[in-house]
Amino acid sequence: MRVRLGAGSGIAHATPLPLGFRVVLDADTKRMDETTLFGGSPARVMRLSASGRTAWAELQDGPVRTAAGGALARKLTDTGAAHPRPPTSPRPADVAVVIPVRDRAELLARCLTALGGRYPVLVVDDGSSDEHAKAAVAARHGAALLRRDKNGGPARARNAGLNQISNDVVAFLDSDCVPAAVWIDVLGAHLADPLVAAVAPRIVSVPSATSAGRYGAAKGSLDLGDREARVVPAARVGYVPTAALLVRRSALLQAAGDGGVFDPDLRYGEDVDLVWRLHEAGWRIRYDPSVVVRHHEPASWPVLLTRRFKYGTSAAPLAQRHPGNLAPLVLHPWPALTVAGLLGARPLVAAVGYAASVLTMRHTLRRAGLPAAGIPRAMFTAAAQTWLGVGKYGTQFAAPALVASALVPGRSTRSRRWARRAAAASLLLGSPLATWFARRPAMGVARFTVAHLADDIAYGAGVYAGCARTRTAAPIRPRIAWRPLRSTRSVATAPAD
């Protein structure tokens, strides 16, 4: 399917990117020729019409200067094929920082010191046992304090804080975070785009001397990587946490429900729920890793794994509130068949799956008018990614079965038995080893692998607990992506894998 992408063709809410904004192509976006781009999340083919080529020339030459240039810039940034560069602007004038906290007075003091009094701060004490320590820390740093006598969780604490302020922009910050001095100034520039509701920085973990601390620093659950993105469910960056988040107040009020901006029934995952509601309302959410906020990780394994378990419990209520946004595993048919053949020690089945994936993708790209070079290697990568995904899914939700498959003898032949054991072992170890080699953390590969497996199992146990509580299996059901080519009014899409 070939579709023309012009400066005037529409996406919902296609307000042009404002004058003065620049755009840069994403690292994965390819210029196939003078009129064709391939990229985005999910990847797609974009063809420039005659008016689109004129607008593209404007964007290559400098900032947005015309409505046509702004319209094309909006489409490119909406699809993830490019990213906005807002113009330099004065620091936001009407911002308040809201910090929910329970106990941890020392961490709160560190957080307030980093903020440096540049903006007004409201600390919401959510039923701390050491309320006088919180009051002393807040007073020492010139922060206002709101005391809740009963602990209600982050959602209720943030709602209470929002009810006390009227600023145009709200900066949510957790008490165990240490932001960079200019984090609000840099992130606030994105709000010059009237469709941007929220902007999130990169959150990196502060390493400690313990093995749990080193693991948390290497694989922090809040670190979404070093690549910027538009935040879209099921895309490369599907959510951002409110551990550090700059939000437009008008967007918060629009997204508020009966219980407040944050759903008070969600003890965990309330931030993901809010981000997805903002997205569903048509707002844009940006992830800007050029701004880094440091985050304190637990120093002990019980605390770290308990936190992962609790995060897992949020999957079921989120899946009920946002159907389709939370698939634990997305499988494309032919790479999945390739992996199934390898797991079953059926080389012929694996070969058929691989050959079919190559031929299908070649046909898809030729229909789109794209060169088909490099397809065999790309499909090998797709199969490898599917293998790692299946392994992580199996570890989180079926680790005992994988271990049993590797250890318990069966009635098959010796060679098939060893093939089955090797496959089960590689499923268990594949994701931890791939992560270790990619990140080279400050801990040995064996210890990191064990920690990674414990992390996945703890999270999966939390998902199961949440499913039992809410009586749904949605968060553990894989999804099959049947269609290799999907289209919208503006673009033709072809999954990269």
Which tens digit of pLDDT belongs to each residue from 475-490? Answer: 999 998 876 544 333 3
Residues 467, 319: contact at Cβ < 8 Å? Answer: no
Task: Quickly list H helices, 49-204.
Answer: 50-61, 67-79, 105-115, 131-140, 154-162, 183-188
Cα 469 from chain centre = 25
- Residues 137 and 264 grouped into a single domain: yes
Average pLDDT, the chain: 88
Q: Residue 7's pLDDT band (boundaries 50, 70, 90)?
A: very low
User: Counting Cβ atoms within 10 Å, is residue 188 exposed (0-12), middle (13-18) or buried (19+)?
Assistant: buried
Average pLDDT over every residue of 376-400:
91
Q: Which of 247-261, 272-286, 326-340 has the highest mean pLDDT?
A: 272-286
Average pLDDT over every residue of 258-276:
93
Specify the pLDDT at position 232. 95
Specify the pLDDT at position 8. 41
User: Within a domain: residue 318?
Assistant: no
User: Counting Cβ atoms within 10 Å, is residue 177 exposed (0-12), middle (13-18) or buried (19+)?
Assistant: buried
The DSSP bridge partners found for residue 95 are: 169
Average pLDDT over every residue of 115-132:
92
Cis-peptide into 42, omega within 30 deg: yes
- Residues 362 and 457 grouped into a single domain: yes
Please identify, among 256, 282, 299, the residue that sits at the C-terminal boundary of a domain. Answer: 299
Q: What type of residue sits at position 240?
A: V
Q: How many structural domains are present in the chain?
A: 3
- Residues 437 and 459 grouped into a single domain: yes
Name the least confident of 44-53, 208-217, 487-496.
487-496
Specify the pLDDT at position 209. 81
Q: How many Å apart are CA 119 and CA 92, to the nearest integer?
A: 10
- Residue 450 pLDDT more than 80? yes
User: Within a domain: residue 416?
Assistant: yes
Residues 119, 95: contact at Cβ < 8 Å? Answer: yes
* Tokens representing residue 188 in the block: 């606030």
Task: Quickly list H helices, 346-444.
Answer: 347-367, 375-407, 414-439
- Residues 99 and 74 grouped into a single domain: no
- Residues 357 and 422 grouped into a single domain: yes
* Tokens representing residue 17 in the block: 């990117």
Q: Residue 217's pLDDT band (boundaries 50, 70, 90)?
A: confident
- Residue 13 pLDDT more than 60? no
Average pLDDT over every residue of 95-114:
95
- Residues 135 and 189 grouped into a single domain: yes
Q: Please name which of 305, 359, 314 lies closest in space to residue 484, comparing C-alpha atoms.
A: 359
Q: Residue 404's pLDDT band (boundaries 50, 70, 90)?
A: low
Beta-strand pair 486-487/284-296:
unpaired
Specify the pLDDT at position 416. 67
User: Within a domain: residue 310?
Assistant: no
User: Within a domain: residue 309?
Assistant: no
422: left (phi over 0), alpha (psi -120 to 50) or beta: alpha
Q: What type of residue sits at position 228?
A: E
- Residues 163 and 198 grouped into a single domain: yes
Average pLDDT over every residue of 245-265:
93
Cα 454 from chain centre = 22
Specify the pLDDT at position 492. 29
- Residues 347 and 415 grouped into a single domain: yes
The more confidently predicted of residues 90 and 431 is: 431
Residues 137, 109: contact at Cβ < 8 Å? Answer: yes
User: Within a domain: residue 496?
Assistant: no
- Residues 348 and 258 grouped into a single domain: no
Please identify, among 54, 85, 116, the residue that sits at the C-terminal boundary of a domain. Answer: 85
- Residues 75 and 136 grouped into a single domain: no
Residues 48, 56: contact at Cβ < 8 Å? Answer: yes
* Tokens representing residue 363 in the block: 């046909």
CATH of the domain at 211: 3.90.550.10
Please identify, among 299, 319, 345, the residue that sits at the C-terminal boundary of a domain. Answer: 299
Average pLDDT over every residue of 394-408:
77
- Residues 399 and 458 grouped into a single domain: yes
Q: How many Å apart are CA 129 and CA 115, to the nearest integer?
A: 24
Q: How many Å apart are CA 455 and CA 497, to the nearest integer?
A: 27
- Residue 134 pLDDT more than 80? yes
- Residue 109 pLDDT more than 50? yes
- Residue 491 pLDDT more than 60? no
The more confidently predicted of residues 417 and 424 is: 424
- Residue 34 pLDDT more than 80? yes
Q: Residue 5's pLDDT band (boundaries 50, 70, 90)?
A: very low
Q: Residue 47's pLDDT band (boundaries 50, 70, 90)?
A: confident
Structural domain including 371 reads: 330-487
Can you tell me which residue has the tokens 């009810």?
A: 163
- Residue 6 pLDDT more than 70? no
Q: Residue 57's pLDDT band (boundaries 50, 70, 90)?
A: very high
Q: Please name which of 52, 47, 80, 57 lies closest in space to residue 68, comparing C-alpha atoms.
A: 52
Average pLDDT over every residue of 194-199:
97
- Residues 51 and 108 grouped into a single domain: no
Residues 7, 51: contact at Cβ < 8 Å? Answer: yes
Specify the pLDDT at position 356. 95
In this structure, the dihedral spanned by the alpha carbons of residues 231, 385, 475 and 221, taken in order and rounded to 10 degrees, is -60
User: Within a domain: residue 314?
Assistant: no
User: Within a domain: residue 313?
Assistant: no
Tallying the residues shown for the chain, one arrives at: 497
Q: Tens digit of pLDDT for each residue in 297-307? A: 888 999 999 99
* Tokens representing residue 420 in the block: 């089955």
Q: What pTM was computed for the model?
A: 0.89
The more confidently predicted of residues 477 and 221 is: 477
Q: How many Å apart are CA 75 and CA 337, to the nearest integer?
A: 35
Q: Please name which of 94, 60, 81, 77 lies closest in space to residue 18, comparing C-alpha atoms.
A: 77
User: Within a domain: residue 321?
Assistant: no
